């Protein structure tokens, strides 16, 4: 806790300002008196999980630690929400970028969207609005617990919700397993591009 001015601090329970020597400012001294400290430790509130809307009970101290103001009932809910709502730092594989470049060259007149979240409120690797067709290139992280079982479970839950959202929007979602590609090479990537082109041609021909 930083001082407001000089040795003036704000109590983390009642939020009143108080004076305290900076060198004496320990955990229990973040409060204007012992009563506020004890109440702060005991007090809890009920809030809703940002992902699943289930009610959760939190200590007031836990509630105030959240910089975003979001709270979750489990790590799975936290991971699912953050994966769905992240606005920066999205990592795209070399395969995804290469396929985007190739499709833009081969199909310049077809409106193809990449990594957009607008349609189903979740990211789609490739989406073609005119064909109601989408593709997901799922690497090894979707099938094996590279970062642990909790992370894998969160990814699978997110994949299931994405598939259900596409059904509701009458979008055909094609899942392409690209987990065998450990290192990107255009020759290896060509087979995934061929699959995408074949399906696009079938849909185009049927419309």
On whether both 170 and 117 belong to a single domain, the answer is yes
What is the DSSP code (8-state) at residue 146? Answer: T
Same domain? For 192 and 102 the reply is yes
- In sequence order, which residues have a C-beta less than 8 Å from that of residue 78 and are 6 or more positions away? 51, 72
Task: Identify whether 89 is part of a domain.
Answer: no
User: How far is residue 175's CA from residue 138's CA, in Å, rounded to a whole number?
Assistant: 7
Q: Is 91 exposed, middle or buried (0-12, 13-18, 19+ CB in 10 A)?
A: exposed
- In this structure, what CATH number is given to the domain that contains residue 122? 3.40.960.10
Do 101 and 200 lie in a common domain? yes
Sort 151 into a burial class: Cβ within 10 Å, 0-12 / 13-18 / 19+.
middle
The neighbour count for residue 84, using CB atoms within 10 Å, is: 16
Let me know whether 53 and 38 are in one domain. no
Short-list 145, 166, 165, 167, CA closest to 156? 145
Contact between 134 and 124 (Cβ < 8 Å): yes
Asked if residue 98 belongs to a domain, the reply is: yes
Judge whether 79 lies within some domain. Answer: no
**Does 199 share its domain with 131?**
yes
What range does the domain containing 193 cover?
Answer: 94-206
For each of the chain's 207 residues, which pLDDT tens digit applies? 444 445 678 887 788 888 776 555 554 567 788 888 877 777 777 788 887 888 887 776 666 666 677 888 887 777 667 665 554 444 678 999 999 999 999 999 999 999 988 899 889 999 999 999 999 999 998 999 888 888 899 999 999 999 999 999 999 999 999 999 888 999 999 999 999 999 999 987 755
The model's pTM is 0.58
Please indicate, yes or no, whether residues 35 and 103 belong to a single structural domain of this protein. Answer: no
- Is 165 domain-assigned? yes
DSSP the chain: ---SBTTEEE-TTT--EEE--GGG--GGGGSSSHHHHHHHHH-EEEEE-TTT--EEEEEHHHHHH-SSS---SSHHHHHHHHHHH--S-----HHHHHHHHHHHHH-TTS--EEEE-TTTSS-EEEEEGGGTEEEEEE-GGGTS-TT-HHHHHHHHHHHHHHHHHHHHTT-EEEEEE-TT-SS--HHHHHHHHHHHHHHHHHHHHH-
- 81 occurs within a structural domain: no
Domain shared by 59 and 122, yes or no: no
160 and 185 housed in the same domain = yes
Task: Answer yes or no: is 78 within a domain.
Answer: no
Instruction: Answer yes or no: do 111 and 56 share one domain.
Output: no
Residues 69 and 146 in one domain: no
Number of domains composing the chain: 3
Are 34 and 104 found together in one domain? no
The reply to whether 83 falls in a domain is no
Residues 147 and 177 in one domain: yes
């Amino acid at each position: 806790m930083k001082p407001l001015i000089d040795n003036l601090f704000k109590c983390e329970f009642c939020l009143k300002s108080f004076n305290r020597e900076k060198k004496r400012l320990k955990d229990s001294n973040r409060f204007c008196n012992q009563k506020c400290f004890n109440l702060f430790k005991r007090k809890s509130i009920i809030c809703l999980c940002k992902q699943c809307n289930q009610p959760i009970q939190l200590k007031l101290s836990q509630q105030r630690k959240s910089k975003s103001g979001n709270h979750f009932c489990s790590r799975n809910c936290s991971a699912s929400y953050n994966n769905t709502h992240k606005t920066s730092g999205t990592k795209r594989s070399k395969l995804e970028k290469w396929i985007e470049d190739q499709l833009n060259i081969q199909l310049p007149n077809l409106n193809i969207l990449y990594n957009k979240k607008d349609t189903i409120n979740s990211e789609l690797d490739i989406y073609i609005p005119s064909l109601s067709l989408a593709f997901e290139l799922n690497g090894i992280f979707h099938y094996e617990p590279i970062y642990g079982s909790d992370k894998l479970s969160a990814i699978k839950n997110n994949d299931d919700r994405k598939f259900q959202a596409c059904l509701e929007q009458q979008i055909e979602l094609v899942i392409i397993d690209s987990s065998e590609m450990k290192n990107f090479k255009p020759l290896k990537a060509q087979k995934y591009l061929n699959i995408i082109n074949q399906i696009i041609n079938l849909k185009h021909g049927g419309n």
